[in-house]
């Protein structure tokens, strides 16, 4: 059964009445009923009735097909003018929904203005005409009265109302002192007595359809401007001219640090900005103007606007360093044993998909990570679940922060590139401190906003035997090298270099990066096994060594280790290589 008739009458009689109400002559209704299958009749009946009784604003389809009209843009402009300050898309959307509901309610009112709105608390005279919202705004005429009797309600009146052919004669309560939902009191709208969904709820239900349609209409309008999710009218912006922007540029350059719009406005206070414009509007106007001027870049974190000068930024800030660019790899974590999964979680690689991996326990004030070759060459640090809490998240492209060397107090600008999960700006520091691949680096929280402490573990410099990457016959090879070391490092990850320039020449081009990993991994594994007295290599060492010439997160490497018989597990993360078992 597809549905039932709420009055309890059989479907057939209901169909006739509905068909008549919809303008179908009875004969036609009968004819159609005899021709159509019952379920089809019921579906048509339902559609007719829904159109008759349901307000359009109460349907999902209405909001899914929303198209904002020029008149409504004008209405929203009035809304912003009344507010006098920038508003969110949510504010505007709710105003739009309210306006549409009010327009619909007005239309309904106009249609049913022939009688008073029925409310149980009111008294009515014989012959008075009433409108009943819960009966689809049916009009009824009071034709009789009698005293009501109910042990809880006290004295009240029962009126008999002739509601025409559709509803017949019915009785309703009047002069009822008992609370009732149909009583329209202060702050209660007709929509409530009709049982409709209020505008705020409608917006909450359909905002996924409403917000994009409204944003599109606002962007197409020449009257609105948008900055970081807030909308305002061009006509209400404070007049910011080139002179103001020149002063802003000079202020940022002089202070050598990003400035908030409020700080820039302080520099402009002696100029001719109208004093009657609220500070929030002045800041918004300045933001809009600076956003449109190519000299300025926005370098603040989420929820904070900070302006800086593009010409003071590192020239390579706009593109991902080539040492950090990796091709797409396909791998199956299901092939990895528990030890490799554990190592995957230990290695701080921003390209590792950490979903499902064991996360490190958050350390509130300090974390330590191991410097890898790609980040050392790029002068960057990875943003991983472990390091992310130390860095602000960029609202747009990047955030400017300050690194402070915990030992020397040296301050260095850093750039958090959230989208690509790295922090730029440590190249000179790595070089100055002679940090090798595998060095321990610690990040420290500070009390200063947008400032991160950084340190390494210095030791008295001495020459140590470490595995080193060398270039032999134009390809990467490994030897034990005696090199000066002045810091603590991870034994498994350290890789020295005897000729950094030659090694840099081996770095894989984007095309070479896409070549299969396995042949290269075999070669690296064989070289590393040869220089180890135990004839083994640790999985972390393989990861560190592979990344000397091509960018590769640990998971694809571990996948290959687990997938080919030539890689023989020796336990505790160590592997050996057996050329006789090559596929």
Partner 1 sequence: MAEYVRPTLDTKFHIDFDWWQQQKRSLRVHLQAHLCPGCRAQYADQPAEDIDWVDPSTGEVKRIDRLWEVVRACCAQRDEAITSQTPFTAAVFLTFVANDNTPLTPLELHQKLFWRPAQTILQTFSGRETFYGIRPAPGAKK
Is residue 412 within 8 A of residue 405, CB to CB? The reply is yes
In whole angstroms, the minimum distance from the beta carbon of 180 to partner 1 comes to 6
Name the token pair of 342: 């554990």
Is residue 362 within 8 A of residue 389, CB to CB? The reply is yes
Task: Kindly tell me which of 172 and 206 has the beta carbon lying closer to partner 1.
Answer: 172
Does position 36 bind partner 1 by CB under 8 A? no
In whole angstroms, the minimum distance from the beta carbon of 12 to partner 1 comes to 11
* Of 135, 329, 440, 507, the one binding partner 1 by CB under 8 A: 135
* Of 6, 355, 361, 473, the one binding partner 1 by CB under 8 A: 6
Name the token pair of 149: 């009797």
Does position 26 bind partner 1 by CB under 8 A? no
Return the closest-CA partner of residue 542 out of 501, 496, 575, 511. 575
Dist. CA 135–CA 392, nearest whole Å: 57
* Of 41, 66, 95, 132, the one binding partner 1 by CB under 8 A: 132
Task: Kindly tell me which of 80 and 138 has the beta carbon lying closer to partner 1.
Answer: 138
Q: Order across the sheet with 366-370: list the strands.
A: 366-370, 440-445, 451-456, 399-405, 411-417, 422-424, 380-382
In whole angstroms, the minimum distance from the beta carbon of 131 to partner 1 comes to 12
Give how far the C-alpha of residue 260 lies from the chain's centroid of Cα atoms, to the nearest Å: 24
Is residue 579 within 8 A of residue 526, CB to CB? The reply is yes
C-alpha distances out from residue 428 to 139, 376, 459, 505, Å: 84, 10, 20, 20
In whole angstroms, the minimum distance from the beta carbon of 103 to partner 1 comes to 20
Q: What element of type H or E holds 151? A: none
Which stretches of 86-212 are assigned E, i.e. beta strand? Answer: 87-88, 116-117, 129-132, 138-147, 157-162, 169-174
Does position 21 bind partner 1 by CB under 8 A? yes
Give how far the C-alpha of residue 313 lies from the chain's centroid of Cα atoms, to the nearest Å: 27
Task: Kindly tell me which of 178 and 234 has the beta carbon lying closer to partner 1.
Answer: 178
Task: Kindly tell me which of 91 and 162 has the beta carbon lying closer to partner 1.
Answer: 162
Return the closest-CA partner of residue 330 out of 518, 536, 111. 518
Q: Which of residues 197-226 bind partner 1 (CB under 8 A)?
A: 197
Task: Kindly tell me which of 49 and 363 has the beta carbon lying closer to partner 1.
Answer: 49
Stretch that binds partner 1, among 176-184, 264-272, 279-287, 506-514 (CB under 8 A): 176-184
Does position 478 bind partner 1 by CB under 8 A? no
End-to-end Cα distance, the chain: 64
Dist. CA 101–CA 125, nearest whole Å: 32
Does position 143 bind partner 1 by CB under 8 A? no
In whole angstroms, the minimum distance from the beta carbon of 202 to partner 1 comes to 12
Is residue 414 within 8 A of residue 425, CB to CB? The reply is yes
Does position 513 bind partner 1 by CB under 8 A? no
Dist. CA 72–CA 450, nearest whole Å: 42
Stretch that binds partner 1, among 89-97, 167-175, 434-442, 533-541 (CB under 8 A): 167-175
Does position 120 bind partner 1 by CB under 8 A? yes
In whole angstroms, the minimum distance from the beta carbon of 227 to partner 1 comes to 39
Burial class from Cβ neighbours inside 10 Å (0-12, 13-18, 19+) for residue 430 reads buried
Return the closest-CA partner of residue 494 out of 464, 462, 472, 455. 464
Does position 298 bind partner 1 by CB under 8 A? no
Dist. CA 452–CA 446, nearest whole Å: 6
Dist. CA 309–CA 251, nearest whole Å: 10
Q: Which residue has the tokens 């809009």?
A: 288
In whole angstroms, the minimum distance from the beta carbon of 65 to partner 1 comes to 21
Does position 195 bind partner 1 by CB under 8 A? yes
Does position 66 bind partner 1 by CB under 8 A? no
Does position 115 bind partner 1 by CB under 8 A? no
Does position 417 bind partner 1 by CB under 8 A? no
* Of 45, 96, 343, 371, the one binding partner 1 by CB under 8 A: 45
Task: Kindly tell me which of 10 and 579 has the beta carbon lying closer to partner 1.
Answer: 10
Task: Kindly tell me which of 11 and 226 has the beta carbon lying closer to partner 1.
Answer: 11
Does position 178 bind partner 1 by CB under 8 A? yes
Does position 56 bind partner 1 by CB under 8 A? no
Task: Kindly tell me which of 142 and 182 has the beta carbon lying closer to partner 1.
Answer: 182
Does position 196 bind partner 1 by CB under 8 A? yes
Helical H runs in 268-400? Answer: 279-292, 338-346, 373-378
Dist. CA 469–CA 481, nearest whole Å: 9
Stretch that binds partner 1, among 164-172, 273-281, 432-440, 485-493 (CB under 8 A): 164-172
Task: Kindly tell me which of 174 and 524 has the beta carbon lying closer to partner 1.
Answer: 174
Q: By the criterion CB under 8 A, which residues form the site for partner 1?
A: 1-9, 13-14, 17-18, 20-21, 45-46, 49, 53, 58, 118-120, 132, 134-136, 148-153, 156, 158, 166, 170-173, 176, 178, 180-182, 195-197
């Amino acid at each position: 059964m597809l549905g039932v008739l709420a009055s309890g009458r059989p479907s057939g009689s209901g169909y006739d009445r509905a068909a008549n109400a919809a303008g179908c002559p009875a004969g036609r209704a009968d004819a159609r009923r005899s021709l159509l299958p019952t379920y089809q009749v019921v579906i048509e009946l339902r559609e007719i009735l829904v159109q008759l009784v349901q307000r359009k604003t109460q349907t999902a389809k209405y909001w899914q097909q929303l198209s904002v009209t020029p008149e409504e843009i004008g209405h929203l402009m009035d809304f912003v003018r009344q507010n006098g300050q920038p508003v969110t898309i949510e504010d505007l959307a709710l105003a739009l929904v309210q306006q549409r509901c009010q327009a619909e309610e007005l239309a309904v009112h106009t249609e049913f203005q022939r009688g008073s709105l029925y409310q149980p608390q009111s008294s009515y005279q014989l012959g008075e005409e009433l409108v009943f919202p819960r009966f689809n705004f049916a009009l009824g005429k009071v034709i009789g009265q009698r005293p009501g009797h109910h042990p809880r309600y006290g004295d009240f009146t029962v009126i008999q109302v002739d509601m025409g052919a559709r509803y017949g004669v019915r009785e309703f309560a009047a002069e009822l002192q008992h609370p009732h939902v149909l009583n329209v009191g202060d702050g209660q709208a007709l929509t409530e007595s009709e049982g409709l969904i209020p505008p705020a709820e409608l917006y909450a239900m359909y905002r996924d359809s409403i917000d994009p349609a409204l944003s599109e209409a606002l962007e197409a309008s020449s009257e609105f401007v948008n900055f970081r999710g807030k909308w305002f009218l061009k006509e209400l912006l404070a007049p910011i001219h080139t002179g103001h922007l020149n002063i802003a540029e000079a202020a940022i350059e002089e202070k050598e640090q990003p400035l908030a719009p409020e700080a820039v406005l302080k520099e402009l206070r002696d100029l001719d900005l109208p004093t009657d414009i609220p500070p929030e509007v002045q800041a918004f106007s300045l933001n809009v103007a600076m956003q449109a001027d190519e000299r300025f870049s926005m370098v603040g974190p989420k929820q904070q606007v900070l302006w800086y000068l593009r010409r003071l930024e590192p020239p390579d800030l706009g593109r991902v360093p080539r040492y950090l660019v990796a091709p797409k790899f396909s791998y199956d974590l299901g092939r990895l044993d528990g030890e490799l999964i554990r190592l995957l979680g230990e290695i701080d690689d921003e390209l590792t998909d950490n979903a499902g991996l064991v996360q490190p326990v958050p350390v509130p004030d300090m974390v330590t990570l191991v410097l890898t070759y790609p980040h050392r060459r790029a002068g960057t640090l990875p943003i991983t679940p472990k390091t992310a809490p130390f860095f602000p998240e960029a609202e747009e492209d990047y955030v400017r922060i300050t690194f402070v060397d915990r030992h020397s107090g040296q301050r260095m600008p850093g750039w958090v590139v959230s989208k690509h999960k790295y922090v730029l700006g440590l190249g000179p520091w790595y070089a100055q401190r002679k940090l090798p691949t595998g060095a321990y680096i610690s990040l420290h929280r500070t009390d200063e906003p947008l400032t991160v402490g950084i340190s390494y573990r210095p030791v008295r410099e001495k020459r140590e035997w470490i595995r080193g990457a060398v270039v032999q016959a134009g390809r990467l090879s490994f030897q034990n090298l005696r090199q000066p070391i002045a810091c603590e490092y991870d034994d498994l990850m350290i890789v020295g270099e005897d000729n950094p320039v030659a090694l840099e020449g081996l770095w894989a081009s984007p095309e070479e990066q896409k070549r299969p990993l396995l042949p290269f991994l075999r070669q690296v594994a064989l070289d590393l096994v040869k220089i180890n007295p135990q004839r083994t290599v640790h999985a972390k060492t393989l990861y560190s060594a592979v990344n000397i010439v091509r960018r590769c997160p640990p998971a694809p490497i571990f996948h290959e280790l687990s997938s080919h018989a030539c890689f023989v597990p020796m336990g505790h993360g160590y592997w050996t290589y057996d050329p006789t078992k090559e596929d």
